[in-house]
């Protein structure tokens, strides 16, 4: 048997949050707005604590390559985060207070997928 911390880490599943919807680039914000945004995400990351595996990143330029070799426009994904949780319900609960979901206008969503072992 391993240590309780090791056993818990083994039992935890990883989930990716994919952020979908409009996002204002940091370059379009005033320094004060940028600082507010960073503080809000910092507070959420602090709240997520050890469940936060990878704070993620916003997405930059994008492309879409299809299985027939053609290219298209990529979707409206704007970034990602990876968390560890016992199950999908716990991963969903971790989105509480996530600044990306603070507008309450239905234009933004966090799509959550479990990352399965290969």
CATH number for the domain spanning 79: value is 3.30.70.1060
Tally of structural domains, the chain:
1
84 in a domain, yes or no? yes
For the chain, percent of residues with pLDDT exceeding 90: 61
pTM score, whole prediction: 0.83
102 in a domain, yes or no? yes
CA 112 to CA 76: how far, in whole Å?
15
Residue 2 has pLDDT above 60, yes or no: no
Domain extent, residue 66, equals 13-115
Hey, is 70 helix, strand or coil? coil
**Residues 45-89: pLDDT tens digits?**
999 999 999 999 989 889 999 999 999 888 889 999 999 999 999
Hey, is 80 helix, strand or coil? strand
Contact indicator for 94, 84 with CB cutoff of 8 Å? no
Q: Is 38 left (phi over 0), alpha (psi -120 to 50) or beta?
A: alpha
79 in a domain, yes or no? yes
98 in a domain, yes or no? yes
């Amino acid at each position: 048997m391993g240590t309780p911390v090791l056993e818990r880490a083994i039992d935890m599943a990883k989930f990716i949050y994919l952020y979908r919807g409009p996002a204002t680039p940091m370059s379009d914000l005033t320094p004060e707005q940028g600082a507010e945004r960073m503080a809000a995400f910092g507070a959420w990351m602090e709240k997520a604590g050890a469940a936060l595996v990878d704070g993620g990143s916003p997405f930059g330029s994008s492309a879409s390559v299809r299985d027939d070799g053609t290219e298209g426009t990529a979707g409206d994904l704007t970034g990602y985060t990876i968390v560890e949780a016992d199950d999908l319900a716990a991963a969903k609960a971790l989105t509480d207070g996530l600044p990306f979901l603070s507008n309450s206008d239905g234009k933004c969503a966090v799509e959550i997928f479990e990352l399965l072992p290969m």
